[in-house]
Chain A
Amino acid sequence: MADLTLSGPIERPSRWLASVARGGTRLWCGGTLVGILFLIALLAPLLAPHDPIEQDLLAAQLPPAWIQGGEWTYPLGTDSLGRCVLSRLMYAARTAVAVALIAASLAAAIGIAFGLIAGMFGGWIDQGVSRLIDVWMAFPPVLLSIVLAAVIGAGLTSVIAAIVVVDWTRFARVVRAETMVQLQRDYAAAARVLGLSRGQILRLEILPNLVPLIVTLLAVEMGIAILVEVILSFVGISVAGDVPTWGGMIVEGRQIVYQSPWIMALPIVSVILSVIGFNLLGDGLRAALDPVQRR
């Protein structure tokens, strides 16, 4: 960050750079962690030393290479079937990123739509949406996603659907409240005076002002989506056996936790780093994009 302020002739800093500076350490750390995660997910086939489902039963449950008995061909050791843990972690990152991106965007789209409509039109529409959210909030979220995934059956679609159906309320509640706040502001009144229709006000005036909030929620939601995949694996209704996922690896590691604890520990570390990354990114983005702090 020091570089940014020193380099070049001193002019008024661009709004973008000022935003990044305001995001501070959290934005940097979060961005780096998430960036690494996305890179690994994207480049898994190039980076992984082995095929993630290739079994080598003669080299089963090897410890990581730096521990006594480990081999450098398997840098992070092997699981009970002799599959390379490092390669599996990398391919699992792909699944995690795919679930996070798709599920979070869908949950956001549905939640924002409901929230905007309820906040904009008020009256019985708002009442209806609010009651619906109330009913949703009365469910334990973990249980609801488990029941849902059981209903739809195992698989990536089911994981994504479970996240979307459970978590749209997160977006709906916040967007509804914020829409109402924004509608009270002078600029919304001015837009009405100018003769803009409700739809135009929503699209041109309200929605752009909700962007910082939505981006923040979206980052946090991606972390949550990764966690939900782990939860569903725990109940045995996540992605099919052949596809490596962090949740699946944790469950497999749990069964042999006394013999080879690292098999469970490594995916846990991956999940924690990703979730912290997404949360830091969300926090940083909130600080960076907050229009109130922009002045």
Chain B
Amino acid sequence: MRWGEIIRRLVLIPPTLFGVCVIVFVLLRVVPGDPIAMMIPPGASPADIDRLRAFYGLDQSILQQFITWLGQALTGNFGRSISLHQNVFELVLARLPATLELSLLATLIATALGVMVALTGVYVRGRRLEWAIDGGIGVFLAIPDFLWALILLLLFGVLIPLLPISGRIDPQLDVAFRTNFYLVESLLTGRLDVALALLQHMILPAVALALPFAALVARLLKASLAEAEDQDYAQIARARGFSRPAILWREVFPNALIPTVALGGVQVTLLLGGTVLVERIFSYEGIGNMAIDAVINRDFPLIQGLILTFAVLFIALNLAVDLLVRLLDPRLRHG
């Protein structure tokens, strides 16, 4: 991708985000459920209800509401959550680190697993084992993250109770964190016991998110590895007497990486979207879990804020992947 293309993509971001805002806004306003009805105590007078409605700006027309919201959003004010009575921006910011840590851990697991499976798959090319590996990849690809979450919960939470199945950290463990990046912070400050406790909570949801993605990485990488191994340079290395593992790892792998990053990187967004349900299943306190609560409570400002957060993350990820491919691919370096 050339720089001009990247600039074009950057220019397209604001209109895309604007489109997301418009769709969410309109969609939410045709909801039959009334958020005010969910927050008033029984016996509230109509005047009270009207006052609340006016307080949240829900008495105005959709267009007016949108203009007000957009004007405030541009200055970083995303309104107040109706169900949690707090600033949306602060709420999202407090929960976002939990989701980011989980997604990052899942991506790391998936990459490591995918690379291992792909290398093994190519190494046993043409043998029966390859057939089994391909079949396995197909199965892992077909079953989505939230089903893995349920399966893992059943296996390691209930049948063989090895790991905790809810929350981000044990409530008894009373640790004061300065940031909301609990895992990163505990690792940086050397609190390994805390890090371990955090990891115990994160490992099941992270593996659930990682498995389908690992299968995707394995499939893409295996195909590129096989293609790269048939190229002349790999054959020459073979002829010069290098062992097959050495060729695969040092010659073929770096070249096969580029298409995998290009195609697979974009799919990280799928993993990120998967956090919504996986967090819910493991009662993990990230933005995904929060989003489901927000929908159930008809908390308009919070839903808007959360969807916008996801949209920004999606777009940023796509762009980051494009830049990464550019960095990895020597052919594109002097575009």
Chain A residues in contact with chain B, CB under 8 A? 131-132, 134-135, 137-143, 146-148, 150-151, 153, 223, 227, 230-231, 234-236, 250, 254, 257-258, 261, 264-265, 268, 271-272, 275-276, 279-280, 283
Contacts and interface: CB of A to CB of B under 8 A. Distances in A.
Given A134-B12, A142-B277, A261 B154 contact: yes
B76 interface: no
13 contacts: A139-B307, A140-B310, A142-B276, A143-B276, A151-B31, A231-B146, A250-B150, A265-B154, A268-B150, A271-B147, A275-B147, A279-B141, A283-B138
Contact of B142 (A139, A153, A223): A223
B142 A276 contact: yes
B272 interface: yes
A134 to B, nearest CB: 5
Nearest to B278: A142
B32 interface: yes
Contacts of B274: 142
Interface residues on B, range: 35 or more
Interface in B264-314: 269, 272-274, 276-277, 280-281, 288, 291-292, 295-296, 298, 303, 306-307, 310-311, 314
Given A138-B315, A235-B295, A150 B16 contact: no
B57 interface: no
Contact of B273 (A140, A257, A279, A280): A140
Contacts of A135: 16, 19-20, 23
A147 B295 contact: yes
Interface in B223-272: 269, 272
B43 interface: no
A150 B143 contact: no
Contacts of B144: 227
B142 A147 contact: no
A272 B138 CA distance: 12
B153 interface: yes
Contact of B311 (A131, A138, A254): A138
A254 B277 CA distance: 14
B30 interface: yes
Nearest to B150: A268
Interface in B182-212: none
A242 B15 CA distance: 44
A268 B154 contact: yes
Contacts of A250: 150
Contact of B138 (A151, A257, A280): A280
A271 B146 CA distance: 12
Interface string B1-41: 00000000000100111011001100110111100000000
Nearest to B17: A138
